[in-house]
Copies of this chain bind each other. A is one copy, B any other.
Amino acid sequence: MAKQKRPPRPKAEPPRGFRDHFGSEVAERSAMLDAVAGVYHLNGFEALESPAVETVEALGSFLPDVDRPNDGVFAWQVDEDGDWLALRYDLTAPLARVFAQHRNELPAPYRRFAIGPVWRNEKPGPGRFRQFYQCDADTVGSPSIAADAEICMVLSDALEAVGIPRGDYVIRLNNRKVLNGVLDVAGLSGEAARERGIVLRSIDKLDRLGPESVRSLLGEGRTDESGDFAEGAGLADSQAGTVMEFIEARRGDNAATLERLSEIIGDNATGKAGVAELRGMAELMEAGGYGPDRVVIDPSVVRGLGYYTGPVYEADLTFEIRDEKGRPQQFGSVAGGGRYDDLVKRFTGQEVPATGISIGVDRLLAALRAKGRSSGESAGPVVVTVMDRDRMGAYQAMASTLRKAGIRAEVYLGNPRNFGNQLKYADRRRSPVAIIQGSNEVARGVVQVKDLALGARIAEGASLKEWRDQPAQFECPIGDLVSRVREILDR
């Protein structure tokens, strides 16, 4: 018998496209989510936490890529003849399932918010992960555009609550009915579902590819830089022209944009209904103080998802940041949503009007970091070092005293033999202060307090005066521990 090989050691890494978040990064995101949840809640939205796992049947397939509807989801069969389960790919599909299930007990309309990770089985790439957070607010059961306007206003408040000041973002508003009217006008009937789908996804690429490429995609198709050919919608020149007029219909103010849209859609009933909805939403929002400095009508926004039926909206950050080579970059979209009236119907057969928003948490966090509004770093705990391992109880008592005063503190738990290692540890922990007490200090009832933050500042070039006035290490009676540590932390 051949000698069995020992199994190889497992690789210590997450699956491709997944990542870990550490320390203050977690705290930072959590603070941001709390701020958004606070705005949602204040506006009457109720929290909902559905499970990460749904049946494939309940989840359905609403991911944008209609050519491969079953792709993009992590799914598995529980056992040989068990259910097919899947990780949720967004928070909207589970909402539809929950509302259909509990529609008799839930208030109608039902305003709900949900925050949590979603999963996509997509090819990972730079900045593209297979697990990421979403933070959604939706209103189910109201056909009124007041519900859509409210979602946009809540989104605006949420962005300001996390630290994006007015002027650094804009919510762009459009309406699918206008687009559908334009396609009717262009002679592309509702039956031409495939072509309409390509038109939708082509317009959605406007920000990234520019108008010329979109024009190609509306017609014969387009060969990209890598030489790959993307088939077009096959529209005739006049048809494509009408669509281009539509997406370029934004004017200097909402009134002018609405007028331009009215011209394009002419007498088309669907298109006129869409324009009326846009006008109504803009009026409601202006009445609420959400004017064009926060929300503008922009016909180039269509949102890729096929299920939107009326108003669609998108929040863009308007400030520039520089990439590592100093080139200006725009952050673009950090949130998007719209009205979808068919999702609950899958379960109940009855159409239920719904509208909602999804905030891309990780992009928003990256934007805040790029603006320097979130450092991503925070100070570590005070470290009580260990000079004498028989006195662990006394060291723990010191840490405990500091904690009772609300100061984050810990005792060094590594091998205490090498004191230099203890200070290196405190450094790696980004500790502001180290406490030292050997037998000499015990005998005199004192401790040594070492200001590690000052040490770091000195290394970065503090003045000699600062160095002299604030000694980086001093001795104090054990009873003064809390007040002297606080002095350092308050500096």
Interface residues of A (CB under 8 A from B): 9-16, 18-27, 30, 41-44, 46-55, 57-58, 60, 74-76, 78, 83, 85, 87, 97-98, 100-102, 107-109, 111, 117, 119, 121, 130-131, 139, 141-142, 144, 146-147, 149-150, 153, 283-284, 287-289, 346-349, 380-381, 383, 392-394, 396-397, 399-400, 403, 406, 408-411, 413-414, 425, 428-429
Q: State how many angstroms separate the Cβ of A343 from the closest Cβ of chain B.
A: 11
A-B pairs with lowest CB-CB distance, top 3: A44-B410, A287-B393, A76-B76
Instruction: Give the interface centre of A42, A57, A108, A142 by most chain B CB atoms within 10 Å.
Output: A42
Q: Which residues of B contact A85 (CB under 8 A)?
A: 15, 74
Q: Which residues of B contact A52 (CB under 8 A)?
A: 52, 87, 117, 119, 131
Mostly helix, strand, loop or mixed at chain A's interface? Answer: mixed
Verify B75–A76 contact, CB threshold 8 A: yes
Verify B101–A13 contact, CB threshold 8 A: yes
Contact of A47 among B27, B58, B141 (CB under 8 A): B27
In the assembled complex, 16 residue pairs joining A and B whose CB atoms fall closer than 8 Å, in A order, are A10-B58, A10-B97, A11-B57, A11-B347, A12-B97, A15-B83, A15-B85, A21-B50, A43-B399, A74-B76, A75-B76, A142-B413, A146-B411, A146-B413, A150-B411, A287-B393
Q: A22-B47, A150-B396 are in contact. Are A11 and B55 (CB under 8 A)?
A: yes
Verify B50–A14 contact, CB threshold 8 A: yes
Verify B414–A141 contact, CB threshold 8 A: yes
Verify A9–B349 contact, CB threshold 8 A: yes
Q: A51-B19, A109-B413, A119-B53 are in contact. Are A288 and B396 (CB under 8 A)?
A: yes
Q: How far is the CA of A139 from the CA of B383 in the complex (A)?
A: 15
Verify B146–A396 contact, CB threshold 8 A: yes
Contact of A12 among B14, B58, B117, B283 (CB under 8 A): B58
Q: Which residues of B contact A78 (CB under 8 A)?
A: 74, 121
Closest chain B residue to A121, Cβ basis: B78
Verify B58–A11 contact, CB threshold 8 A: yes
Q: A48-B20, A146-B411 are in contact. Are A13 and B43 (CB under 8 A)?
A: no
Q: Which residues of B contact A55 (CB under 8 A)?
A: 10-11, 13-15
Verify A98–B20 contact, CB threshold 8 A: yes
Contact of A107 among B147, B283, B397, B428 (CB under 8 A): B428
Verify A21–B48 contact, CB threshold 8 A: yes
Q: A60-B10, A76-B75, A409-B44 are in contact. Are A393 and B288 (CB under 8 A)?
A: yes
Known: A142-B413, A142-B414. 17 other contacts (CB 8 A): A9-B349, A10-B97, A11-B347, A12-B347, A13-B58, A13-B101, A14-B50, A16-B83, A18-B51, A20-B48, A27-B41, A42-B403, A43-B399, A44-B381, A139-B413, A284-B393, A288-B396
Q: Which residues of B contact A57 (CB under 8 A)?
A: 10-11
Contact of A15 among B19, B53, B150 (CB under 8 A): B53
Closest chain B residue to A85, Cβ basis: B15
Q: A10-B346, A53-B18, A400-B288 are in contact. Are A46 and B58 (CB under 8 A)?
A: no
